[in-house]
Structure 1
Amino acid sequence: MHETTSMGLGHAVALLAAMVVAATLFRRFGLGSVLGYLAAGLLIGPSALGLVREPESVLHVAEFGVVMFLFIIGLEMRPARLWSMRREIFGLGAVQVLLCALLLTGLAMAAGLVWYAAVIAGFGFALSSTAIVMQLLQERNENADPGGQRVVSILLFEDLAIVPLLALVAVLAGTYGSAVETGNPIWMTVGLAIGAVAVVYVAGRWVVNPFFRLLARYGGREIMTMGALFVVLGAAYAMNLGGLSMAMGAFLAGVLLSESTFRHQLEADVEPFRGLLLGLFFLSVGMSLDLRVVVADWAWVLGGLAAFMSAKMLAVYVVARLKQKHGEGLLRAALMGEGGEFAFVLYSTAFAAGLFDARTAAILSAVVILSMALTPLRVMLADRLRPNEDLSPDDAEGVDRAKNLRERVLIIGFGRFAQVVSQPLLARDVDVSIIDMDVEMIQAAGNFGFKVFYGDGSRLDVLHASGAETAETILVCVDKQETADRIVELVKAEFPLTKLFVRAYDRGHAIRLVQAGVEYQLRETFESALVFGEQVLIDLGFSGQEARETIEDVRRRDEERLGIQLVEGIQGGRSLMRGNIRTTRPEPYVKPRREGTALNEEAAEALEEDEEREKAGA
């Protein structure tokens, strides 16, 4: 009797039921959804109940979950931020991959593999699982932390490393195996990869934004969703044609769209597909574990698992300890102690090229899958062993997390600037909520009569818990302009009726805030510097009236210059600044306005009308 292998409605029901039940149960007992998906996949796979006999058919579809996950990660990374991580990506990532590969290759040779097979086995296991590590970081809310960003950097390098590793397999196959069938020389392969990156870059920079403006104007919600999926999968397909990772293509597309006005819409449209397909990916990995191989070669599988995991965790820990503390090294070793998705690609290619026999490929694949399944357990163990190197908000006395706050004004960041700002509000009995991330500062503020809650204002869930949707005004007083920009972006997208008063770091930051549409911005040193300068003039013998008039002139010039810069860029209005080289340019008159008032079209037109009336009167 011929057995059908096609996927039907019954299979879909079985997959969804397994995912729902496993994720719920495992999260209930604190084991995480990833381990639940892997266990459920093993249970319904061909090695156990056999409800799904061809896990590869599920895996081919589920791989798009990883693609969409990397796209969403890319949306959180602006190009400038990615550029600032270049040393971690190409420095830290390269050191970790090479050290891991060196140790693992040595172990593989000691186990009896010939050197070229050992090199492939070592490099394959050196590449960690992007899907599992990123999912765990997200569940722990650590993907935006400095330690989490270093892990992301290493994962990005590993995604890039698959290209030269596949080329290495082709070179070794030509000498020691059966040559891989490819009509493209190395230079053409590299050229295709560069061309794919260029196509994605050009499309993301100059095509996608007009494309979505068109869809937003003439299409409905479902059309926008289709457009979002088209962009993600199109970028992945272009990279795949160039021989690169599909996930890398989606990540690059996300980075290029991170400054788009449609980024929040894109994230909302892609997120449901990402969650479902990523769960399917973990499920299919669990189904791929061949228990017959584990039983038949249990000594090699378990011995290889223990040796490879231990060696890789040691190498990761050593690299981490070059600059970071013991706790971060321990957690990074636990997170990245497994083999990853690219190991399957590398091992299957090596098997097809004759560098591996079938038994070796099966054993190595089983080792990788088991190491992936053990990742959540390693992380749980690392959490228990990690020392309390930083003061935790949950353990610190007098520190509470922001939860269900409902006040008229929400202050984000409570450094010296916000402490002064709070005084006139409290003097008028205005109800305020205050959040900050510095545990020691929160405790110190408590000694002076302030109740400050622990919370990261750049996270949407924390903003909800802090009452951002009901607050009349949010004061963003953080000292990092990137964090302030992120908060403004979130508030404008999620709570558009809430007023934003923002502390600006410098002039460039002030321009960005005005363009973002905040109600009021103030450079943190501007007013104090004017008061300082006024007192210097009085001390030098100028009258109080003369000093005040001079300060008002400086304020007027600065405000006019800011208006010009909004149109012409940061270099605009340079002639309005007084330098120690005198200029004969006549000073234009602009009606004084308060520093920080956002310039809009109506205000600009009103100013022009005032000037025309004054000229006509003159």
Structure 2
Amino acid sequence: MAEASNFELVQIVAVLGAGVIAAPLFKRAGLGSVLGYLAAGLAIGPFGLKVIAAPEAVLHFAELGVVMFLFVIGLEMKPARLWSLRKEIFGLGAAQVLACGALLTGLGMLAGLDAPVAFIAAMGFVLSSTAAIMQILDEAGETAEPQGQRAVSILLLEDLAIVPLLALVAVLAPATGENLRADWTQIAIAVGAVAAVVAAGRWLLNPLFALLSSARAREVMTAAALVVVLGTALLMQVSGLSMAMGAFLAGVLLSGSTFRHQLEADIEPFRGLLLGLFFMAVGMSLNVTVVVAQWQFVALAVIGYMVVKGLGIFGVALLFGSGRREAIYRAALFAQGGEFAFVLYAAAAAVGIFDAQVNAVMSSTVILSMVLTPLTVIAARRLLPAEAVDLDGLEEPEGLSGAVLLVGFGRFGQVVSQAFLARGLEVTIIDNDPEMIRAAAKFGFKIYYGDGTNLDVLHASGAGKVRAVAVCIDNREATNKVVELVKATFPNAGLLVRAFDRGHALELINHKVDFHMRETLESAFTFGQNALEYLGLPAAEAEETISDLRARDAERLCLEQTSGLYAGQDLMHTNGPTPQPFTRPRRAAQPLNEEAGALAQSGAEQG
């Protein structure tokens, strides 16, 4: 018994250790954590070091990571926002699924597969990996961007598509009276389950979490969050629907809850761990024996399915108005199979549509496509040209002049411009954000489109004629580039620069700019002064306190110029423990020394 327990512990340590090592290494190498987890799973699986002999059990458990991931996505998707994406979900998403399904079914039939087999194989591959794509989008910070939202919409439709596809598996199974008969009872159960989840989300969950929150027991809230996610997923699975769909639906229903952020924080550790475990289980499941034995067929299947699906995605994207760059990027991102393929293929094998050989080959094809996806995305990002900027209605600088050239019209630049304009100075403003320029025009501002890090743009903007160049960019590297260009080419222009932080301020001092200001310094001082007054300090004392802090900061900055960023720390007020002077305890047997000890202590305090 002890040996079995130790072996299980070794397996757990091996799985966690492999993920901990591989994911950061692959991410640092620019390959993404998903590929790292897949490689780690392959390394410790039955075709690697054989630490894990039954990856199916791990995969079944790790699917909970996908469930929790979709719950978190649902929390971000309020019903109103979901409704706003209905055209992308049921238009773009449905068009992509249908078009790619038809193309891949035709490819399978050309390869000699029977029509039902080709159709199920194709539709399994059409359902891209929600977990892999969302992880890639999250790591790149693209989820909230318009193209990221379109990708999320397509994934939602694909997740919904698993329900009718599983029903079709029963219809396409070898003919028997049972599976040719429409099971209206099952449909009614499914509809009832969805209605129950909607009702619970609307009338039950908020009062429940309010009650649990009043108990002030963090572990109870965490347990309740897990019960909601897993319970909804279980209900959906029992009713014949997708666990992932149930978790997403629960997330959407709780997206307007006052406890949304608490739920997300409670679920996050479990989601991240189980999602990594899911990708490792996929890597473990790769049947290397089948791949080696039929490597030519598997290679052709992987390449053929990915290329044909990619072409279908590209065509649909262009048809729905996406640019060529976004269409190619989406094709690279979605040209893979996903986790739902294993569910669909297992159902097909259970009813006799797939034999063991077809199931193994198609599962290997899906896994290899998931392995290749991070690489195709990296290649697309590096090889695709930068997206062309829509300059419609924008004016570029040419032969301009004025008293001040203001580079960057973000939040900081907008406030700075008011000082110049209030005194009637002629200000030329340039920015490289078309949407910002168009928005500013609605408020009566004339902004020219131009990149201040380009010397030709600075010339055209009149940098050689102005009295000062005010650099208000929120990017440290770009700011330094503008400073270097102005110092080298327009030495007569004053340089007034927004500093990103303290370290950047020291760099600007070394560049000998005429004036710099840390972007948050004065607003923080003002905030602090008003906060002290709110807490009851007289206005004069609050102002005196901030004046002292401002003087300390300036003195510290001078020290840092010669001695480094950590100089002058004694000028800062901190909330850490203050070291106390050591005093030898007095002995009760020496009362005559008490007065001397007191005098010594007094001297130590004065020193």
> Are residue 423 (structure 1) and residue 406 (structure 2) matched?
no
> Are residue 209 (structure 1) and residue 206 (structure 2) matched?
yes
Aligned to 2:19: 19
Cα drift, residue 221 of structure 1? 1.1
Cα drift, residue 186 of structure 1? 2.7
Aligned in 2, Cα 1:420/1:39: closer, same or farther, shift over 3 Å?
A: closer
* Structure 2: runs of 5+ lacking an equivalent: 391-407, 424-430, 438-446, 453-460, 462-468, 477-499, 505-517, 533-607
- Per-residue deviation, residues 218-238 of structure 1 (Å, max 9, x unmatched): 141111111111111122112
Cα drift, residue 420 of structure 1? 6.6
Cα drift, residue 425 of structure 1? 12
Aligned to 1:45: 45
Aligned to 1:340, which of 319, 330, 338? 338
Aligned in 2, Cα 1:306/1:180: closer, same or farther, shift over 3 Å?
A: farther
- Per-residue deviation, residues 524-551 of structure 1 (Å, max 9, x unmatched): xxxxxxxxxxxxxxxxxxxxxxxxxxxx
Q: Is the 8 A contact 1:174 1:180 kept in 2?
A: no
Aligned to 1:305: 302
- Per-residue deviation, residues 346-388 of structure 1 (Å, max 9, x unmatched): 1111111111111111101100000011000000111122121
Q: What does 1:368-379 align with in structure 2 at a 5 Å threshold?
A: 368-379=366-377
Aligned in 2, Cα 1:439/1:445: closer, same or farther, shift over 3 Å?
A: farther
Alpha-carbon distance between aligned partners in 2 of 1:77 and 1:4, rounded to the nearest angstrom: 45
**Equivalent AA in structure 2 for residue 126 of structure 1:** V
Q: Is the 8 A contact 1:5 1:54 kept in 2?
A: no
**Equivalent AA in structure 2 for residue 419 of structure 1:** Q
Aligned to 1:380: 378
Aligned in 2, Cα 1:300/1:445: closer, same or farther, shift over 3 Å?
A: closer
- Per-residue deviation, residues 510-534 of structure 1 (Å, max 9, x unmatched): xxxxxxxxxxxxxxxxxxxxxxxxx
**Equivalent AA in structure 2 for residue 171 of structure 1:** V
Aligned in 2, Cα 1:307/1:5: closer, same or farther, shift over 3 Å?
A: farther
- Per-residue deviation, residues 60-86 of structure 1 (Å, max 9, x unmatched): 221111111111111111111100101
Alpha-carbon distance between aligned partners in 1 of 2:383 and 2:330, rounded to the nearest angstrom: 13
Alpha-carbon distance between aligned partners in 1 of 2:309 and 2:204, rounded to the nearest angstrom: 43
Aligned to 1:94: 94
**Equivalent AA in structure 1 for residue 75 of structure 2:** L
Alpha-carbon distance between aligned partners in 1 of 2:152 and 2:196, rounded to the nearest angstrom: 24
Aligned to 2:289: 292
Aligned to 2:312: 315
Q: Is the 8 A contact 1:170 1:179 kept in 2?
A: no
Q: What does 1:474-553 align with in structure 2 at a 5 Å threshold?
A: none
Aligned in 2, Cα 1:347/1:233: closer, same or farther, shift over 3 Å?
A: same
Report the RMSD for the aligned CA atoms in angstroms. Answer: 3.5
SS at match of 1:453: coil
Cα drift, residue 445 of structure 1? 10
Aligned to 1:191: 188
Aligned in 2, Cα 1:469/1:276: closer, same or farther, shift over 3 Å?
A: farther
Aligned to 1:329: 327
SS at match of 1:89: helix
Alpha-carbon distance between aligned partners in 1 of 2:306 and 2:178, rounded to the nearest angstrom: 30
SS at match of 1:128: coil
* Structure 1: runs of 5+ lacking an equivalent: 393-410, 429-434, 456-461, 476-496, 499-618
Alpha-carbon distance between aligned partners in 1 of 2:246 and 2:70, rounded to the nearest angstrom: 9
- Per-residue deviation, residues 430-462 of structure 1 (Å, max 9, x unmatched): xxxxx997687496697783614269xxxxxx9
> Are residue 362 (structure 1) and residue 355 (structure 2) matched?
no
Alpha-carbon distance between aligned partners in 1 of 2:274 and 2:316, rounded to the nearest angstrom: 33
**Equivalent AA in structure 2 for residue 245 of structure 1:** S
Cα drift, residue 345 of structure 1? 1.0
SS at match of 2:276: helix
Alpha-carbon distance between aligned partners in 1 of 2:342 and 2:187, rounded to the nearest angstrom: 22
Aligned in 2, Cα 1:303/1:74: closer, same or farther, shift over 3 Å?
A: same
Cα drift, residue 247 of structure 1? 1.1
> Are residue 59 (structure 1) and residue 59 (structure 2) matched?
yes
Over alpha carbons, which structure has the higher Rg?
2
- Per-residue deviation, residues 388-410 of structure 1 (Å, max 9, x unmatched): 11469xxxxxxxxxxxxxxxxxx
Alpha-carbon distance between aligned partners in 1 of 2:475 and 2:90, rounded to the nearest angstrom: 34
Q: What does 1:76-225 align with in structure 2 at a 5 Å threshold?
A: 76-175=76-175, 185-225=182-222
Alpha-carbon distance between aligned partners in 2 of 1:190 and 1:357, rounded to the nearest angstrom: 28
Cα drift, residue 473 of structure 1? 11
SS at match of 2:347: helix
**Equivalent AA in structure 2 for residue 289 of structure 1:** L
Aligned to 1:351, which of 349, 352, 369? 349
SS at match of 1:8: helix
> Are residue 453 (structure 1) and residue 474 (structure 2) matched?
yes
Alpha-carbon distance between aligned partners in 2 of 1:361 and 1:338, rounded to the nearest angstrom: 17
SS at match of 1:313: helix
Alpha-carbon distance between aligned partners in 2 of 1:239 and 1:269, rounded to the nearest angstrom: 22
Q: Is the 8 A contact 2:38 2:280 kept in 1?
A: yes
SS at match of 1:449: strand
Q: What does 1:228-267 align with in structure 2 at a 5 Å threshold?
A: 228-267=225-264
TM-score (normalizing by structure 2): 0.66
**Equivalent AA in structure 1 for residue 344 of structure 2:** L
Q: Is the 8 A contact 1:42 1:289 kept in 2?
A: yes
Cα drift, residue 419 of structure 1? 3.3
**Equivalent AA in structure 2 for residue 383 of structure 1:** R
Cα drift, residue 423 of structure 1? 3.0
**Equivalent AA in structure 1 for residue 111 of structure 2:** A
